Amino acid sequence: MLLRPVLLMALAIPLIARQSPAQQLAGDSVVVDTVAPGLEHTYIVRQQGPWRVHLVRVDLRGGHYAVRSVRALDSLRGREKVTAMAERARQQGHRVRVAINADFFDLKTGESVNNQVSGGRIWKALAMSGPAGGAMKSARGQFGVTRAGKPVIDRVVFAGVLHAGRTFWALDGVNAIPSNGQGLVLWLPEANGRARADSTRPGRELRVAVVRGTWRDSLVLRTRGAVAAADSAPLPAGEGALVAYGATAARLDSLVVLARPVVARADWLPAAGPLEELIGGWPVILRDGAPTVDESAVRELTGKSNANVRHPRSLIGFDADTSHLVLVVIDGRSAASVGMTLAEAAEFLRGQGVAHALNLDGGGSSALVIDGRVVNVPSDPGGERTVANAILIEAIIRRP
């Protein structure tokens, strides 16, 4: 690897665009490491914060790198270090070069808060974001990659459909109890035996067999048995359960009498084309080159203790023409690096030429891994924390 230390002088201004020569302090520096062609790691030291920032820029042109999301333990529930997720992917034949922690999660169960799609496979899908039973009833920001390979950042919600012939029903989620207690949800074995109902959101369920298909196109289901109270029995491979919550229970009554297969299709709003990858964060902090931190406080109900306090940060974004992806970790909670507010993080990314950006889970969860090694300094006393999921940058293996 080639290391190129650079002192911040007038010629270095494009790297940190909003710092004039008069503002540059002794000890400010930038070290650039060309990890591989089209993959560059920049380590930025700024005494102004003070801040220590690791930034990876990925050239998406030419199809040399793929962006993929993975789950801890390959499970909807449970936690694992980013290094372990990257290593397991490597053992499965993926050439993982970079990995970063991703979504917020339940500390007890490890279940991520938002939607996740990996390789076209839906792990979790919700019409609205937020913890079940909590006050949050909104649509949170998420990062995705379309089947055509284009990155997207938006407040994404699931809008699935069930249909049989000319009859259609709304499908409101996959493997998740609706936070508002209303909706029709398809539960599949990926749920790992999670309870399909609770004391505040009871449900009625109709078992189904998965006849064929995948979420990349559609799933063909055949109803089995009668409608019953939703339970927590694990679902065997090839089977599922349609669970109706609240006022949507009547949908099951019309489904149970069908003597023909039912087709389940996934859709997402706002429409961006078929999504190959989708993973959550909170909130969107840049859109079209303009900071959106203030409006996110209303649209995504961002907490002031998160937005307005300096914390370690994990961030993802891309430039205006979607040619380059940027992964960033800002260290924090130490004398060497205090972390950033969301507003400071948005301005920093804008100075790096980023047009669209999403805040990921931060604090002790922030970890940036390059070729199997954590390059930042996690703030937890024990080092790298176990988390729910991660985003991987993988070199595409081209076979003769």
What mean pLDDT value characterizes the chain? 90
pTM of the predicted protein model = 0.91
Whether the Cβ atoms of residue 96 and residue 86 lie closer than 8 Å to each other:
yes
Whether the Cβ atoms of residue 291 and residue 331 lie closer than 8 Å to each other:
no
Q: Is the peptide bond before 283 cis (omega within 30 degrees of 0)?
A: yes
The token pair at 15 is 């790297």
Q: Is the pLDDT score of 18 beyond 90?
A: no
Cα 74 from chain centroid (whole Å): 15
**How far is the C-alpha of 15 from the C-alpha of 8, rounded, in Å?**
9
Predicted local confidence at residue 303, as pLDDT? 83
DSSP state of 164: E
Predicted local confidence at residue 260, as pLDDT? 87
% pLDDT > 70, the chain: 91
Predicted local confidence at residue 242, as pLDDT? 96
**How far is the C-alpha of 194 from the C-alpha of 252, rounded, in Å?**
21
pLDDT digits over 192-231, tens only?
878 898 888 889 999 999 999 999 999 999 999 999 999 8
Predicted local confidence at residue 96, as pLDDT? 98
Which amino acid, residue 132?
A: A
Dihedral (Cα; 329, 332, 334, 338), 10-degree rounding = 120
Band of pLDDT at residue 5, cut at 50, 70 and 90? very low
**How far is the C-alpha of 343 from the C-alpha of 1, rounded, in Å?**
34
Selection from 168, 85, 58 nearest residue 391 by Cα? 85
Whether the Cβ atoms of residue 331 and residue 337 lie closer than 8 Å to each other:
yes
pLDDT digits over 119-132, tens only?
999 999 998 765 44
pLDDT digits over 366-381, tens only?
999 999 999 999 999 9
Cα 362 from chain centroid (whole Å): 13
**How far is the C-alpha of 214 from the C-alpha of 330, rounded, in Å?**
38
Whether the Cβ atoms of residue 375 and residue 388 lie closer than 8 Å to each other:
no
**How far is the C-alpha of 187 from the C-alpha of 246, rounded, in Å?**
16
Residues with Cβ within 8 Å of 127's Cβ and at least 6 positions away in sequence, in order, are 157, 158, 159, 172, 173, 178, 183
- The residues that bridge with 390 in the sheet, in sequence order, are 70, 101
Lowest mean pLDDT across 82-86, 220-224, 267-271, 301-305? 301-305
**How far is the C-alpha of 357 from the C-alpha of 143, rounded, in Å?**
9
Band of pLDDT at residue 272, cut at 50, 70 and 90? confident
What are the percentages of helix, strand and coil residues in the chain, rounded to 5?
Answer: 15, 40, 40
Whether the Cβ atoms of residue 211 and residue 261 lie closer than 8 Å to each other:
yes
The SS3 call for residue 306 is helix
Predicted local confidence at residue 1, as pLDDT? 39
**How far is the C-alpha of 18 from the C-alpha of 11, rounded, in Å?**
13
